[in-house]
């Protein structure tokens, strides 16, 4: 159903269970975040995400250059804490169930090729201070909830442009990662 959706493209869907309540979230293009409290019967845009600074810099390299919400993640022990990845625009965190947002920029460097090209955030379910971040600049790991990051791969490495990250369902100490050595513009070469 599309009641309340006014964006033409949906990029991601995520489900959060908080107590006995299930909430669905959709990420769209142009970059927007929606929520449904009735299992998708209706949707409400979480407009607060677009109240953050630098929204005018959000873009996506291929024409028509429209950024999108690429990934939605939830803190495993803090249900009101939501993370949203904008490709390309940044990594955002809400600690009040989407009422307000802060940008996490501790992973970025002034010499990054792409502007805050965030693909996916993965939070370790048993050690939730450990984050993994797949980006257009490589794979990063934080052991302090995103305060600081170690860059594990870089563009040009065999997996320098990771896109997907998943924990092995049988062993959460194993992460599966998919991507390329560089951005999509090089994939046909």
Q: Which residue has the tokens 């009641």?
A: 3
pLDDT digits (tens, 9 = 90+) for 78-97: 999 999 999 988 999 999 99
pLDDT at 188: 57
Between CA 70 and CA 57 the distance in angstroms is: 16
What residues of the chain score a pLDDT lower than 70? 1, 184-189
What's the number of CA atoms in the CB half-sphere (13 Å) around residue 108?
Answer: 15
DSSP letters spanning 3-65: TT---SEEEEEEEEEETTEEEEEEEEETTEEEEESSTTSS-EE-GGGGGSTTGGG---SSTT-
Q: Do residues 98 and 82 make contact, with C-beta atoms less than 8 angstroms apart? A: yes
**pTM, to two decimals:** 0.92
Task: Supply the DSSP symbol for 18.
Answer: E
Which tokens belong to 118?
Answer: 């965030």
CA triplet 20, 31, 161: central angle to 5 degrees?
95
């Amino acid at each position: 159903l599309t009641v309340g959706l006014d964006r033409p493209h949906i990029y991601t869907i995520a489900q959060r269970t908080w107590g006995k309540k299930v909430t669905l979230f959709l990420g769209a293009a142009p970059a927007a975040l929606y929520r449904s409290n009735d299992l998708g019967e209706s949707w409400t845009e979480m407009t607060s995400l677009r109240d953050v600074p630098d929204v005018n810099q959000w873009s996506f390299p291929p024409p028509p250059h429209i950024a999108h919400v690429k990934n939605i993640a939830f803190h495993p022990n803090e249900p009101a804490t939501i993370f949203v990845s904008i490709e390309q625009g940044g990594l955002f965190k809400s600690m009040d169930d989407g009422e307000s947002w802060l940008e996490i920029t501790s992973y970025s460097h002034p010499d990054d090729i792409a502007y805050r090209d965030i693909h996916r955030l993965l939070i370790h379910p048993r050690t939730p201070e450990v984050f993994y971040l797949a980006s257009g600049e490589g794979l990063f790991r934080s052991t302090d909830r995103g305060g600081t990051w170690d860059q594990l791969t870089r563009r040009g490495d065999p997996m320098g442009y990771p896109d997907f990250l998943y924990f092995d369902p049988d062993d959460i100490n194993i992460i599966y990662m998919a991507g390329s050595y560089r951005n999509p513009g090089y994939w046909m070469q």
